[in-house]
């Protein structure tokens, strides 16, 4: 089981982080999807990989998700302040960040606002801005409807999140089956594994552990404009994206690659949103660990 650390931030708000890997390893902060939580690292089977590669993986719950306290009226651009608090707590002068899926906007916010603290910025299967025409056209219609509800109708969305969490907790096989129905073939194959299906259900339940408002707001922030100014990003960004992704379509990855000033993007054929990470996580993390070893 991972070590869960609680930070108390100014004002008394608490932030929860799970820590994996050696204490003297290369520091990497992992930003989970939306809505999700710190245990996403376990679902994606990252703890064994980071142990082998000598990476100290720190995975925080964003506010209102998992074990972290809710932060009303927060924005994507508020997140770098929490990240700096995490860095102070763990005594990190410099570190790398990896934003997966809905964690991508938060990685880009850090790249813009705290570049001097960052060694590497990595985006994996990152969502793109929903307001840009055409980028959401291949997302599953029911998934897109839920995302938009979180932005436009928060109260019904919170009720839906709670219902999803109850289904995940008490009927995990049903939750996994519902997810598979909306996935492309590469991701459906991942979810066909009963352990992966059960892990996905735990992830959904943990995201709404306290109530639905944290998950609703996190999803709404993904759908609304993030406030990130790509032209202010001066650090190199590494991107990985599956060409069969339907959660964050490859058009989103290509759009971001065209906006970020200095980017090295890899678009992987025949991989989806989940399968990319399940099949290529070691390559992605080895690249971070290897480059840090030469610094």
Instruction: List pLDDT tens digits, range 65-124.
Output: 999 999 999 999 999 999 999 999 999 999 999 999 999 999 999 999 999 999 999 999
54 Cα distance to chain centroid: 21
Q: What is the pLDDT of residues 151-209, one digit of tens each?
A: 999 999 999 999 999 999 999 999 988 888 888 999 999 999 999 999 999 999 999 99
Is the pLDDT reported for residue 295 higher than 70? no
Q: How far apart are CA 118 and CA 147, in angstroms?
A: 30
Residue 291 confidence (pLDDT) = 62
Q: How far is CA 271 from CA 76, 99, 194, 200, 247, in A?
A: 28, 18, 20, 18, 12
- pLDDT of the residue at 179: 85
Q: Are 222 and 186 in contact (CB under 8 A)?
A: no
Mean pLDDT of the residues in the chain: 95
**Domain map (residue ranges) of the chain:** 3-293
Q: How far, in Å, are 94, 140, 291 from residue 295 at the CA level?
A: 12, 42, 7
- pLDDT at residue number 292: 53
pTM: 0.96
Q: Are strands 95-100 and 26-31 parallel, antiparallel or unpaired?
A: parallel
Query: What is the predicted pLDDT for the residue at 182?
Result: 82
The class (CATH top level) of 3-293 is alpha beta
Q: Please report the pLDDT score of residue 10 as a whole number.
A: 86
271 has a pLDDT exceeding 80: yes
For residue 245, pLDDT over 70 is answered with yes
Residues 6 or more apart from 139 whose CB is under 8 A from it?
147, 246, 247, 249
Q: Answer whether residue 294 shows pLDDT above 70.
A: no
């Amino acid at each position: 089981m991972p070590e869960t650390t609680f930070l108390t931030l100014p004002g008394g708000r608490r932030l929860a982080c799970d820590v994996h890997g050696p204490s003297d390893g290369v520091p990497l902060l992992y930003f989970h999807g939306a809505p999700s939580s710190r245990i996403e690292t376990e679902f994606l089977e990252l703890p064994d990989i980071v142990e082998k590669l000598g990476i100290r993986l720190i995975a925080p719950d964003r506010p209102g998700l998992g074990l972290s306290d809710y932060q009303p009226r927060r924005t994507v651009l508020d997140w770098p302040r929490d990240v700096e608090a995490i860095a102070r707590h763990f005594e990190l002068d410099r570190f790398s960040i990896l934003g997966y899926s809905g964690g991508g906007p938060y990685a880009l916010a850090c790249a813009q606002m705290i570049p001097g603290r960052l060694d590497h910025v990595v985006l994996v299967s990152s969502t793109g801005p929903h307001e840009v025409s055409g980028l959401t056209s291949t997302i599953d219609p029911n998934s897109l409807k839920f995302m938009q509800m979180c932005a436009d109708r928060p109260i019904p969305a919170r009720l839906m999140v709670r219902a999803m969490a109850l289904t995940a907790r008490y009927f995990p096989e049903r939750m996994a089956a519902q997810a598979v129905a909306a996935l492309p073939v590469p991701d459906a194959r991942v979810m066909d594994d009963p352990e992966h299906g059960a892990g996905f259900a735990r992830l959904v339940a943990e995201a709404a552990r306290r109530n639905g408002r944290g998950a609703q707001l996190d999803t709404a922030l993904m759908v609304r404009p993030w406030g990130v100014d790509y032209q202010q990003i001066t650090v190199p960004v590494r991107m990985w994206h599956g060409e069969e992704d339907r959660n964050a379509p490859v058009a989103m990855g290509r759009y971001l690659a065209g906006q970020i000033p200095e980017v090295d993007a890899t678009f992987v054929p025949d991989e989806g949103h989940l399968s990319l990470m399940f099949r290529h996580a070691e390559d992605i993390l080895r690249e971070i660990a290897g480059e840090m070893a030469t610094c």
